[in-house]
Copies of this chain bind each other. A is one copy, B any other.
Amino acid sequence: MQAEIITIGDELLIGQVIDTNSAFIAKQLNKIGISVYQITSIQDHKSHILKALKEAENNADIIILTGGLGPTKDDITKKTIAEYFNDTLVLNTAVLQNIETIWKQYVRQKLLQVNKDQALIPSKATVLMNKLGTAPGMWLEKQEKTIISLPGVPFEMKAIITNHVIPKLKDKYKCPYILHKTLLIHGLGESTLAARIEPWEDALPKHIKLAYLPSLNKMRLRLSTKGFEKEKIETEIQEQISKVLPLIKKEFYGYEDEDGNEEAFLGNQLTKIGKTLAIAESCTGGKLTEMFTANPGASKYLKGGVVTYSTQSKIDILNISENLINTHSVVSQQVAEAMAQNALKLYKSDYAIATTGNAGPTKGDSNAQVGTVFIAIATKNTVYTKEFNFGNHRTRVINKAVNQALQMLQEEILKN
């Protein structure tokens, strides 16, 4: 079973908006055994939408469109779909009622004709009700093909995918089970890893696909396969993992969770063992703390974080002694460890992470080379630091430091 995703909107093609919808949809389709053949981003033009629909029909059984369903004049997806199906728009009273409810609850302004017009739906479409917005999803069929049109606003689209599209697709198609398993590996480059595991890779059965995903000081190695017997597939992947693990014993440090979210995985581990975390950030500027708090349930293990970006704030807020800073410099092992230890005390946590470094592009309050980062981990019993040079690209320095800090925390937790 193959799907194609078409995202509609000039904002995508001028680079003003990054298309995050496709990745979400692709992930959900994969979970029920539907592969995505292609993702196509196109303009808000009738002829372009018609052309994309026609081409997608040649490649895929299921076509999912997002975008172009708003109330304004630049949104033309609905009219175009009606034309594609040789159909007319008719008023759907359930949708109109939903629009009126949302308007009353959230907007509290006069309901305009353009909003009412969002209840006009191609007569051949089944409505996928959008409880979170005024543009409904639509489900249409053409011989054995299914064409689904969804609003482009990510949280509305996500709710319709989860509540309507996935259950309906599962109903309609008998789908194979798709399994991806991703190993996290640090300390090995792509080609060194490939050379190390070459005999294993060459012996992999043809139906198991392997992918190398390098990303900022870590490698992700993804095994994928699909079939109709879930248990058999899971056993087979597990067997292959058992064979490769001895080859990367020192460098393997965990699996990626289903959503590729390392910090959520770590947060769950902390919650399970009933331990808490505090974070003191300098060069990573709050990113570590933000990554943890982006996940629900963070309050169960995260006491908080402090971003002591200026040297003075390290003294004032984290009680780092001025003398220590003057002796060793603000970017040093000693300051990193003091930051971690004092964060542990301040927040009364079980673990603390601290980062201090120079992300560039220019030198800050220290003479440390751009890219130098010290990362410290403190617990009640221990404190230690690793020193890195992450190069001279600001965003990469920050992201590599964050990755490395997560790895160090994971290793520390695994010690228990």
Knowing A26-B13, A317-B317, the reply to whether A41 touches B38 (Cβ < 8 A) is yes
**A310 and B303 within 8 A (CB):** yes
Which residues of chain B are within 8 angstroms of A48 by Cβ–Cβ distance?
A: 38
Is the contact region of chain A dominated by helix, strand, or loop, or is it mixed?
Answer: mixed
Smallest Cβ distance from A10 to chain B, in angstroms?
6
Q: Within A196-217, which residues are at the interface with B (CB < 8 Å)?
A: 201, 209-214
Which residues of chain A from 33 to 56 have a CB within 8 Å of any chain B CB? 35-43, 48, 52, 55
Assess whether A403 is interfacial by the CB under 8 Å rule.
no
B39/A14 in contact, CB under 8 A: no
Q: Is the CB of B15 within 8 A of A18?
A: no
CB 8 Å contact bits of A57-82 with B (1 = contact, 0 = none): 00000000000001111100000000
Bound together, the chains give a CA A284 to CA B48 distance in angstroms of 40
For A107, give the chain B residue with the smallest CB separation.
B189
Within 8 Å of chain B (Cβ to Cβ): is A173?
Answer: no
Chain B residues near A194: list those with CB within 8 A: 71-73, 114
- The answer to whether the Cβ of A143 comes within 8 Å of any Cβ in the partner chain is no
Within 8 A of B (CB), among A353-400: 360-362, 364-365, 393-396, 398
Query: How many copies of this chain?
Result: 2
In the assembled complex, how far is the CB of residue A375 from the closest CB belonging to chain B, in whole angstroms?
16
Q: Does A16 contact B (CB under 8 A)?
A: yes
CA distance A107 to B188 in the complex (A): 9
Q: How far is the CA of A93 from the CA of B333 in the complex (A)?
A: 42
Q: Contact: B310 with A299, CB < 8 Å?
A: yes
Cβ contacts under 8 Å, A350 to chain B: none
Q: Decide: A114 and B40 in contact? CB cutoff 8 A.
A: no
* In contact, A109 and B189 (Cβ under 8 angstroms): yes
Hey, which chain B residues are within 8 Å of A294, CB to CB? 285, 287, 395, 398
- Distance in angstroms between the alpha carbons of A304 and B74 in the assembled complex: 42
Interface residues of A in 295-327 (CB under 8 A from B): 296, 298-299, 302-310, 312-313, 316-317
Q: Shortest Cβ distance from A398 into chain B, in angstroms?
A: 7
Smallest Cβ distance from A326 to chain B, in angstroms?
19
Measured between beta carbons, the chain B residues less than 8 angstroms from A241 are none
Residues of B within 8 Å of A13, CB to CB, are: 26, 35-39
Instruction: Please give, as numbers and ranges, the residues of chain B lying within 8 Å of A299 by CB-CB distance.
Output: 309-310, 364-365
User: Cβ of A289 < 8 Å from any Cβ of B?
Assistant: yes
Closest B residue to A292 using CB positions: B285
Partner of A16, one of B39, B72, B180: B180
> Would you call A23 and B27 a contact (CB within 8 A)?
no
Q: Which residues of B contact A313 (CB under 8 A)?
A: 303-304, 346-347
Q: With A18-B20, A294-B398, A305-B309 given, can you name 12 additional A-B contacts, CB distance below 8 Å?
A: A10-B224, A12-B26, A12-B39, A14-B30, A15-B23, A15-B25, A72-B194, A107-B189, A114-B194, A279-B307, A285-B298, A286-B286
Q: Which 3 A-B pairs have the closest CB atoms?
A: A285-B293, A15-B27, A286-B289
CB<8 Å pairs between A and B, sample of 18? A14-B180, A14-B224, A15-B27, A19-B22, A19-B23, A70-B214, A71-B194, A73-B201, A73-B210, A114-B191, A114-B194, A114-B195, A287-B293, A293-B398, A296-B360, A299-B309, A304-B317, A312-B348
